[in-house]
């Protein structure tokens, strides 16, 4: 369980996050979304006791990040954003250090290390020096150290960035396997990842939480119109005019000038598809494509993050 | 002190895996070996002269003369090598970002510091021990003043402890290892020679300079004289800089 209440962090006079509050229940997998510089890593660093907040409180498993820092760190598995690792050490030597630091007893040490090594598919690389590993394997070592000592809370800062597609699928599968009984907070830019893995998303922008909900709820809340994609052959101009005059149609726009593909925005309360198809037949057009377009998480994200007129928050 | 052993083992392993250690060890042994040879030659020349004119050297023990000069030389070489041993301690963690791991593992700052410092001190002790065979070889041909050997080496170790604590602190000040080594070296050099400057300032200031000088407190130990003030000086010096290191760590946490 993770609770944040009114978290604020200043770097000098600049505030990185401002009054951030959220709650993650035990066993939930939550995605933490936001553009670069929105304050994701700052929030995560406060939760992992890397640094204290300027004001506000954060509790992990009911323990306060300032007062019970050591006990919290005992319960958290954390994979930092850039996956920092001790480059001079071999994978197993590094994991031995991490396990020792996390208080794994000597007699459990070897089984614990081989458990995470096989969970992350590092068997063949256990004795290689970390410096020589590829990006994908470094990422796995980062994940392996987070899994040591079976933490109740896993906090992963962009775990799949920089991996190739098959590795991404593997890491996602691994995270899916881990979710039982564990609270997982996953920060990412990759939106399909969130819809696949997370029950809930927290979207942060310019240091403030802009939305907290499940991906499906967010979609339905923000969907002001239903978009229908339509492609016809034949006299498309006439057809377009006819459609525009229909009740319930809010906007008709042509996809790429000169083609006969349209995006039609309709009132969400009524389903216009059969009427549109009938009109097409009436006007003598051939119906090539007709489908409703779902608002993707990308659209929601863009809508929430670029709501303000100024663009200064969109820097990367 | 939670986390002392894992950090100690990791640091020691990292030290012996890094090329810096081998370069430092090579040059340390080379330079100390050259001085060893040179001093031995000088001392045997002096003893040859004394043998011809016994009235010149009634009170001089050749063995003591040799050991004292060698220990002074060792301590000067230490000025150069200790910054190289400590420069990576925190600077590298900050540069590579691994400090984020160290700070989020259930390890206290004091435990991690103790582990790092102990690993450095162990490495230093290993280097120092590597000079012992030469000294022992000399004691085979002359009556060994054991008290001086033990006292002198303990003094070098204590002084090394002080140097390393300053270096540890300097490595928290920057991400750049070279800058950290330069800071350590410069401060040590000033503290080494500050005792010589007493004639240029007021008497009160002069005795203060002499008191804070790292070399003045070694004089007694190099003669085999155990003075609690000298020992206390090195211990307070070390504790002071290790304490500053801890403060620096928590300030680093707060600044983020």
What secondary structure does DSSP assign to A227-285, as a single string?
EEEEEEES-HHHHHHHHHTSTTEEEEEESSTTSSEEEEEE-TTS--HHHHHHHHHHTT-
Residue B147: the pLDDT is 82
The domain boundary, picked from A220, A253, A284, lies at A220
Check B255 against A52: CB less than 8 A apart.
no
Taking the CA of residue B113 and the nearest CA in chain A, the distance in Å comes to: 13
In a shared domain, residues A73 and A157: yes
pLDDT digits (tens, 9 = 90+) for B140-197: 877 777 888 888 899 999 999 999 999 999 999 999 999 999 999 999 999 999 888 8
Which residues of chain A have a CB within 8 Å of the CB of B18? 88
Q: How many Cβ pairs closer than 8 A exist between chain A and B?
A: 84
Q: Which residues of chain A have pLDDT under 70?
A: 221-224, 256-259, 294-297, 306-316
CA distances from residue B240 to A212, B162, B169, B232, B244 in whole angstroms, order as listed: 49, 9, 10, 12, 6
Residue B177: the pLDDT is 95
Do the beta carbons of residue B24 and residue B120 sit within 8 Å? Answer: no
Which residues of chain B have a CB within 8 Å of the CB of A98? 101, 105
Residue A312: the pLDDT is 44
Taking the CA of residue A195 and the nearest CA in chain B, the distance in Å comes to: 29
Note the Cα A28 to chain centre separation in Å. 14
Whether A303 is in a domain gets the answer no
Residue A311: the pLDDT is 43
Instruction: Find the CB nearest B103 among A9, A50, A87.
Output: A50
CA distances from residue A194 to A146, A190, B42, B63 in whole angstroms, order as listed: 20, 7, 77, 76
Check A82 against B97: CB less than 8 A apart.
yes
In a shared domain, residues A125 and A138: yes
Taking the CA of residue B119 and the nearest CA in chain A, the distance in Å comes to: 14
Do the beta carbons of residue B158 and residue B75 sit within 8 Å? Answer: no
Instruction: Find the CB nearest B106 among A50, A73, A80.
Output: A73
Longest Cα separation, chain A: 80
Instruction: Find the CB nearest A89 among B14, B100, B108.
Output: B14
Q: Give A174 or B100, the one with higher predicted confidence.
A: B100
Whether B60 is in a domain gets the answer yes
In a shared domain, residues A235 and A215: no
Domain that holds residue A255: 224-294
In a shared domain, residues A138 and A190: yes
Do the beta carbons of residue A154 and residue A183 sit within 8 Å? Answer: yes
In a shared domain, residues A198 and A288: no
Whether A128 is in a domain gets the answer yes
Q: Return the CATH number at A31.
A: 3.40.50.300
Interface test with B, best of A63, A70, A100 (most B CBs within 10 A): A100
Whether A181 is in a domain gets the answer yes
Residue A310: the pLDDT is 43
Whether B119 is in a domain gets the answer no
Number of domains in chain B: 1
Whether A312 is in a domain gets the answer no
Whether B50 is in a domain gets the answer yes
pLDDT digits (tens, 9 = 90+) for B29-76: 999 999 999 999 998 888 888 888 877 666 677 888 888 899 999 999
In a shared domain, residues A197 and A229: no
Whether B174 is in a domain gets the answer yes
Whether B141 is in a domain gets the answer yes
Check B104 against A50: CB less than 8 A apart.
yes
pTM: 0.85
Instruction: Give the ipTM of the model, two decimals please.
Output: 0.88
In a shared domain, residues A278 and A187: no
Whether B38 is in a domain gets the answer yes
In a shared domain, residues A50 and A155: yes
Whether A169 is in a domain gets the answer yes
Number of domains in chain A: 2
Q: What is the mean pLDDT of residues B189-207?
A: 87
In a shared domain, residues A192 and A239: no
In a shared domain, residues A32 and A60: yes
In a shared domain, residues A156 and A270: no
Whether A301 is in a domain gets the answer no
Whether A203 is in a domain gets the answer yes
Residue B161: the pLDDT is 96
Domain that holds residue B205: 19-97+131-250
Whether B244 is in a domain gets the answer yes
In a shared domain, residues A230 and A151: no
Check A78 against B7: CB less than 8 A apart.
no
Residue B35: the pLDDT is 93
Do the beta carbons of residue B143 and residue B33 sit within 8 Å? Answer: no
Interface test with B, best of A97, A129, A138, A142 (most B CBs within 10 A): A97
Whether B12 is in a domain gets the answer no
Q: Return the CATH number at A288.
A: 3.30.70.100
Minimal Cα distance from B14: which residue of A? A88
Q: What's the CA gap between A45 and A217, in Å, rounded? A: 28
Check B96 against A97: CB less than 8 A apart.
no
Whether A86 is in a domain gets the answer yes
Residue A43: the pLDDT is 93
Q: Phi, psi (5° rounding) for residue A59?
A: -130, 135
Q: Give A217 or B248, the one with higher predicted confidence.
A: B248
Torsion angle of alpha carbons B190, B191, B197, B198, nearest 10°? 160
Residue A295: the pLDDT is 66
């Amino acid at each position: 369980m993770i609770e944040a209440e009114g978290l604020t962090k200043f770097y000098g006079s600049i505030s990185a996050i401002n009054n951030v509050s959220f709650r993650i229940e035990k066993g939930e997998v939550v995605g933490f979304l936001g553009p670069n510089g929105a304050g994701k890593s700052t929030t995560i660093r406060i939760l992992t006791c890397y640094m204290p907040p300027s004001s506000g409180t954060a509790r992990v498993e009911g323990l306060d990040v300032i007062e019970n820092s050591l006990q919290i760190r005992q319960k958290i598995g954390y994979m930092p954003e850039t996956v920092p690792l001790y480059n001079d050490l071999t994978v197993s030597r590094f994991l031995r250090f991490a396990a020792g630091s996390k208080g794994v007893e000597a007699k459990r040490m070897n089984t614990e290390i081989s458990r995470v090594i096989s969970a992350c598919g590092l068997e063949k690389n256990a004795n290689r020096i970390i410096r020589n590993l590829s990006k994908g394997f470094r990422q796995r070592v980062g994940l392996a150290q987070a899994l040591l000592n079976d933490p109740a809370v896993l906090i992963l800062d962009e775990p799949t960035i920089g991996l190739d597609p098959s590795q991404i699928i593997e890491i996602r599968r691994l995270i899916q396997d881990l979710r039982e009984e564990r609270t997982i907070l996953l920060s990412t830019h990759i939106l399909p990842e969130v819809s696949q893995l997370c029950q809930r998303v927290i979207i942060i922008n310019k240091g403030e939480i802009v939305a907290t909900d499940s991906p499906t709820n967010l979609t339905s809340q923000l969907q002001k119109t239903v978009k229908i994609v339509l492609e016809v052959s034949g006299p498309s101009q006439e057809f377009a005019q006819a459609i525009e005059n229909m009740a319930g149609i809010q906007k008709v726009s042509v996809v790429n000038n000169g083609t006969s593909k349209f995006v039609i925005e309709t009132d969400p309360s009524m389903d216009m598809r059969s009427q549109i198809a009938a009109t097409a037949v009436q006007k003598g057009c051939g119906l090539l494509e007709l489908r409703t377009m779902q608002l993707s998480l990308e659209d929601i994200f863009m809508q929430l993050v670029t709501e303000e007129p100024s663009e200064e928050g969109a820097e990367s | 002190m939670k986390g002392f052993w894992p950090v100690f083992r990791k640091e020691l392993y990292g030290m012996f895996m890094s090329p810096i250690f081998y370069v430092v060890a090579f040059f340390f042994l080379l330079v100390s070996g050259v001085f060893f040879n040179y001093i031995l030659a000088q001392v045997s020349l002096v003893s040859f002269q004394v043998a011809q004119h016994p009235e010149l050297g009634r009170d001089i023990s050749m063995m003591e003369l040799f050991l004292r000069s060698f220990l002074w030389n060792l301590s000067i070489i230490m000025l150069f090598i200790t910054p190289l041993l400590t420069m990576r301690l925190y600077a590298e963690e900050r540069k590579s970002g691994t400090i984020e791991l160290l700070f989020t593992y259930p390890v206290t700052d004091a435990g991690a510091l103790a582990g790092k410092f102990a690993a450095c001190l162990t490495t230093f002790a290993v280097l120092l021990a590597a000079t012992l065979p030469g000294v022992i070889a000399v004691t085979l041909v002359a009556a060994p003043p054991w008290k001086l050997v033990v006292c002198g080496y303990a003094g070098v170790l204590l002084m090394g402890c002080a140097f390393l604590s300053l270096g540890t602190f300097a490595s928290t000040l920057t991400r750049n290892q070279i800058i950290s080594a330069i800071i350590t070296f410069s401060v040590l050099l000033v503290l080494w020679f500050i005792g010589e400057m007493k004639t240029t300032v007021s008497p009160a200031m002069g005795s203060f300079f002499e008191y804070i000088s790292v070399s003045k407190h070694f004089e007694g130990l190099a003669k085999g004289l155990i003075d609690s003030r000298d020992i206390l000086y090195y211990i307070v010096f070390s504790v002071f800089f290790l304490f500053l290191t801890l403060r620096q760590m928590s300030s680093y946490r707060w600044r983020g």
